[in-house]
Chains A and B, each alone.
Chain A
Amino acid sequence: AQSVSQHNHHVILSEAASLELGCNYSYGGTVNLFWYVQYPGQHLQLLLKYFSGDPLVKGIKGFEAEFIKSKFSFNLRKPSVQWSDTAEYFCAVEGLLSGGYNKLIFGAGTRLAVHP
């Protein structure tokens, strides 16, 4: 079965610190990978996505992620976090439903708290 693992459930950083959130997935075929962000009280927003091509993808707000196929990983990074990055981050893989439809399979999420 397809699954997504996020290693850190809670991360606390000071402003300007560097961020790396781990994400590993299990799936035997071609995958599409995503990071979503959920700010307090808001809906999920797409941060970045990987379909094919350059394994280093850049998203909004200075975030980037690297797809390493051999490690089944898609880690999220940001060189210098801001207080406004406080949110919950979800890694997701697009997998097939029975019948050929696609659905998103999410990891458990990582809550990031950035202190001024």
Chain B
Amino acid sequence: NAGVMQNPRHLVRRRGQEARLRCSPMKGHSHVYWYRQLPEEGLKFMVYLQKENIIDESGMPKERFSAEFPKEGPSILRIQQVVRGDSAAYFCASSTTDRVAEKLFFGSGTQLSVL
């Protein structure tokens, strides 16, 4: 059983371009969480999704950021018109339950660099 897969591992974009980050949860996991890690900061919660539903997006910036978790396929975190401040590591985690804690498994992250 493969772990949580994120791709790409590294993504370089120029200002104004779009960034798409993919997360394939572990098999059987229907709960996906996205976190962002800025330099010298901890992981900040962004959004929590279940299949085809956004449950909580209280940590998402109001503009340019969106997330989806379709019935088929990976969860996508989309950042439109990227700016330098979007440069960060983006981590996805998945679970079989919304009782997060010990059931949460993390991916290796996508490092986004905006030039």
State yes or no: do A and B come from one complex: yes
Contact status A43-B56, CB under 8 Å: no
User: Which bucket holds chain A's interface residue count?
Assistant: 20 to 34
Contact status B101-A34, CB under 8 Å: yes
User: Which bucket holds chain B's interface residue count?
Assistant: 20 to 34
Contact status A102-B109, CB under 8 Å: no
B106 CB contacts on chain A under 8 angstroms: 43-45
A41 CB contacts on chain B under 8 angstroms: 108
Q: Count A-B pairs with CB separation below 8 Å.
A: 65
A81 within 8 A of B: no
- Provided the pairs A41-B108, A43-B107, A103-B33 are in contact, do residues A94 and B101 lie with their beta carbons within 8 angstroms? yes
1/0 contact trace for A99-111 toward B, CB 8 Å? Answer: 1011111111100
1/0 contact trace for A6-25 toward B, CB 8 Å? Answer: 10010000000000000000
Could you tell me the distance in whole angstroms from the C-beta of A51 to the nearest C-beta in chain B? 8
A30 within 8 A of B: no
B99 CB contacts on chain A under 8 angstroms: 102
B100 CB contacts on chain A under 8 angstroms: 94, 101-104
CB-contact partner of B58 in A94, A98, A106, under 8 A: A98
B72 within 8 A of A: no
Contact status B109-A43, CB under 8 Å: yes
Could you tell me the distance in whole angstroms from the C-beta of A112 to the nearest C-beta in chain B? 15
B55 CB contacts on chain A under 8 angstroms: 97, 99, 101
B63 within 8 A of A: no
B52 within 8 A of A: no
Closest B residue by C-beta to A34: B101
Contact status B42-A106, CB under 8 Å: yes
Contact status A43-B43, CB under 8 Å: no
A-B contact pairs, 13 of them (CB 8 A): A6-B42, A43-B91, A44-B106, A90-B42, A97-B56, A101-B48, A102-B98, A102-B99, A102-B101, A103-B48, A103-B56, A104-B45, A106-B42
Nearest 8 interchain pairs by C-beta: A106-B42, A44-B106, A106-B43, A108-B42, A43-B108, A43-B106, A101-B98, A102-B100
